[in-house]
Amino acid sequence: MKYSKLFGKTIKETPKDATLVSHQLLYRAGFIRESVAGRYYFLPLGLRVHEKIQQIIRQEMNKAGAQEMTTPVLHPKHLWEETNRTNSVGFELMSIKDRQEMEFVLGGTAEEMLVDLVRKFQISYKDLPFNLYQFSTKFRDEARARGGLLRLREFVMKDAYSFHTSEEDFKKEYESMKATYTRIFQHLGLKTDIVESDNGYIGGEYCHEFVVESEIGESRYLTDNEGYSAHEDVAVFEFENKNLDEEEKQMVEVDAVRGPTMEDGVKLHNLPLWQQMKDLMMVDENGNFILAVIRGDLEVNEVKLAHVAKAYRLRHATVEEIRELGSEPGFISPVGLSDRVKVVGDLSLRTIKNAYTGANKKHKDLLNVNIDKDYKVDIEADIALAKAGYISKNHKPLIAKKGIEVGNIFQLGFHYSSKMTGANFRDNDGLEKPYYMGCYGIGLARTLATIVEKFSDEKGIIWPKAVAPFKVHLIGLDLEGESVKGKAERICNLLQAEDIEVLFDDRIDTSAGAKFADSDLIGIPCRVVVSKKTEGDKLEIKKRSEKETQFISLKELIDMLK
């Protein structure tokens, strides 16, 4: 490819809103352009990298026995209604009617489409397991798109869906996909942490994110460096018992002229924070009230809370709502509360005795409050937010990290096959049974941006070999002279004849300095210079990742690149 002919040349300016290195460099080097926020053009250079990432994913998925296919982009909406996802996904879902007034969803993930396909077949236990995957454009109507390719509203995703006779069989595939993903990201030059995470609107019981550690990442997770890594939305930890040896005393209501905060309670009663009960009044998407109660030194994890309360969206109750329930902001308590409120108690409430909390009346507190005796919870579950320094299941302190989620794998179990009729296979006992499922996604554009976030310097991108748009950046200098020009073109042709991809900077009106700067910005792994100084068969070579130039023959270059 001649650079003079390439569409999408380097520029000096950075878009005003580009704060991320990957956004700046991919834009300046001519890999991408924005159409509107969250929707991007891939220019020829960018698409070459995108396709290499795609090919690496494809090879590894095929090796793992998965089979590539495609679904339509428009999903009949009635399928999403079968699984109630039109409600659970909410605003991120875009829908559209055709001229026959049939409604479609712009696919964000394709579980329903795959189940609808598979149930068109008479599947028996002999056909299972299988894992079907596709590369296709996905749509997410994100409230806020992030600059560049990190959070898009439209992107190509590799999504895979596996079908099994049993959980046991599924678990083998889940582990195989874990290994496959690790290998894919290794090929791409990325080290990933495998992080337990929240399954969002996908459904199922557990899932893992593949996260590349990065300061600019939006995935916050905790790890003990002993095999436990979990997104802060789901991370668990150990908490010690506090005063369980105390005798349970008689609950008593006392005057409490204090402010509404936890600290106000600590000061007034001169008791430890952990002995106080923290009470959070929330409202779900249907207007139901949920009171979350937790030990005072801990915080409520609203994602965990939503899960155990089976809510899609939670918000804090207003002052008026709290008063209408017969309580008082700053003095809420589960004791004697309206039965319109569902009480969710954290497991940590079992580590304290004789707690203190509000009395659902202004300036009144309760002392010596004990679970079961003085109040009951409707749901008792882990709703605590883990933090750095807390102790992991492995008895090690948790460390907080940030990273970019580049892939994820989900146990789906019977979530879809139980909701969609006919999502069955015939087992070897002749009975029809729902299949057990998993799904597995990788966002290609975000992966591409992550590679740039990890591999760049002040001059530009430094592409890992496996995904570089070209293998060699051949820079011709002094090309006004026919003999140098001829030599450069010959080298270009010889390299291409060896199936080595070459970007040939054949511009005549551009300075050597500008060409070198462009080459550093674009980031092709190997730079070769041909100029009137080029003597004999020795070519000037410089690797993008190194400082030194070296002089080697074309044959040595070809050997090096192969």
Local structure of residue 384 (DSSP, 8 states):
B
Residue 75, strand partner residues: 105
Q: Please state, in angstroms and rounded to a whole number, the distance separating the CA atoms of residues 498 and 514.
A: 28
Do 45 and 469 contact (CB within 8 A), yes or no?
yes
167-187 and 44-63 are packed helices; what angle lies between their axes, rounded to 10 degrees? 140
Tokens at residue 124, please? Answer: 């028996």
- Distance of closest approach, residue 158 Cβ to a second copy, in angstroms: 13
Q: Please state, in angstroms and rounded to a whole number, the distance separating the CA atoms of residues 446 and 212.
A: 11
Q: Under the criterion CB under 8 A, does residue 547 sit at the interface with a second copy?
A: no
Do 120 and 153 contact (CB within 8 A), yes or no?
no
- Distance of closest approach, residue 138 Cβ to a second copy, in angstroms: 10
Q: Please state, in angstroms and rounded to a whole number, the distance separating the CA atoms of residues 253 and 256.
A: 9
Q: Under the criterion CB under 8 A, does residue 125 sit at the interface with a second copy?
A: no
Q: Choose between 34 and 540: whose C-beta lies nearer to a second copy.
A: 34
Residue 115, strand partner residues: none
Q: Under the criterion CB under 8 A, does residue 47 sit at the interface with a second copy?
A: yes
| Given 16, 121, 339, 431, the residue binding a second copy (CB under 8 A) | 121
Q: Under the criterion CB under 8 A, does residue 6 sit at the interface with a second copy?
A: yes
* 3-state secondary structure labels for all residues of 76-90: EHHHHHHCCHHHHHH
Do 137 and 100 contact (CB within 8 A), yes or no?
no
Q: Under the criterion CB under 8 A, does residue 39 sit at the interface with a second copy?
A: yes
| Given 54, 88, 130, 206, the residue binding a second copy (CB under 8 A) | 130
**Per-residue contact track with a second copy, 356 to 375, x per CB under 8 A?**
--------------------
Q: Under the criterion CB under 8 A, does residue 514 sit at the interface with a second copy?
A: no
Q: Choose between 44 and 204: whose C-beta lies nearer to a second copy.
A: 44
Segment lying near a second copy (by CB under 8 A), choices 94-102, 180-188, 270-278, 398-406: 94-102
- Distance of closest approach, residue 94 Cβ to a second copy, in angstroms: 6
- Report the run of H or E that residue 398 belongs to, with start and end: none
* 3-state secondary structure labels for all residues of 215-248: CCCCEEEEECCCCCEEECCCCCCECCCCCCCCCC
Q: Under the criterion CB under 8 A, does residue 433 sit at the interface with a second copy?
A: no
Q: Under the criterion CB under 8 A, does residue 261 sit at the interface with a second copy?
A: no
Q: Please state, in angstroms and rounded to a whole number, the distance separating the CA atoms of residues 224 and 236.
A: 11
Q: Under the criterion CB under 8 A, does residue 143 sit at the interface with a second copy?
A: yes
Q: Please state, in angstroms and rounded to a whole number, the distance separating the CA atoms of residues 311 and 64.
A: 37
Segment lying near a second copy (by CB under 8 A), choices 66-74, 328-336, 495-503, 523-531: 66-74
Q: Choose between 67 and 493: whose C-beta lies nearer to a second copy.
A: 67
Q: Under the criterion CB under 8 A, does residue 12 sit at the interface with a second copy?
A: no
Q: Choose between 50 and 515: whose C-beta lies nearer to a second copy.
A: 50
Segment lying near a second copy (by CB under 8 A), choices 37-45, 274-282, 290-298, 496-504: 37-45
Q: According to CB under 8 A, which residues from 96 to 115 bind a second copy?
A: 96, 98-99, 102, 106, 113
Q: Under the criterion CB under 8 A, does residue 154 sit at the interface with a second copy?
A: yes
Q: Under the criterion CB under 8 A, does residue 451 sit at the interface with a second copy?
A: no
Q: Choose between 41 and 551: whose C-beta lies nearer to a second copy.
A: 41
Q: Under the criterion CB under 8 A, does residue 124 sit at the interface with a second copy?
A: no
| Given 60, 82, 116, 233, the residue binding a second copy (CB under 8 A) | 116
- Distance of closest approach, residue 68 Cβ to a second copy, in angstroms: 6
CA Rg value for the chain: 30
Local structure of residue 170 (DSSP, 8 states):
H
Q: Under the criterion CB under 8 A, does residue 4 sit at the interface with a second copy?
A: yes
Q: Under the criterion CB under 8 A, does residue 126 sit at the interface with a second copy?
A: yes
- Report the run of H or E that residue 122 belongs to, with start and end: none
Segment lying near a second copy (by CB under 8 A), choices 4-12, 269-277, 279-287, 357-365: 4-12
Q: Under the criterion CB under 8 A, does residue 173 sit at the interface with a second copy?
A: no
Q: Choose between 66 and 355: whose C-beta lies nearer to a second copy.
A: 66
Q: Under the criterion CB under 8 A, does residue 287 sit at the interface with a second copy?
A: no
- From 159, 100, 71, select the one nearest 441 (Cα to Cα): 159
Burial 157-182 (b: 16+ CB within 10 A, else e): bbbbbbbbbeeebbeebbebbeebbb
Q: Under the criterion CB under 8 A, does residue 551 sit at the interface with a second copy?
A: no
Do 365 and 265 contact (CB within 8 A), yes or no?
yes
Tokens at residue 67, please? Answer: 């089979």
Local structure of residue 532 (DSSP, 8 states):
T
Q: Under the criterion CB under 8 A, does residue 91 sit at the interface with a second copy?
A: yes
Q: Under the criterion CB under 8 A, does residue 69 sit at the interface with a second copy?
A: yes
CB atoms within 10 A of CB 282: 22
Tell me the pairing of strands 456-457 and 436-443: unpaired
Secondary structure of residue 104 in the 3-state scheme: strand
| Site residues, a second copy (CB under 8 A) | 4-9, 33, 35-36, 39-44, 46-48, 50, 65, 67-76, 91, 94-96, 98-99, 102, 106, 113, 116-117, 120-121, 126-127, 130, 132, 136-137, 139, 141, 143, 153-154
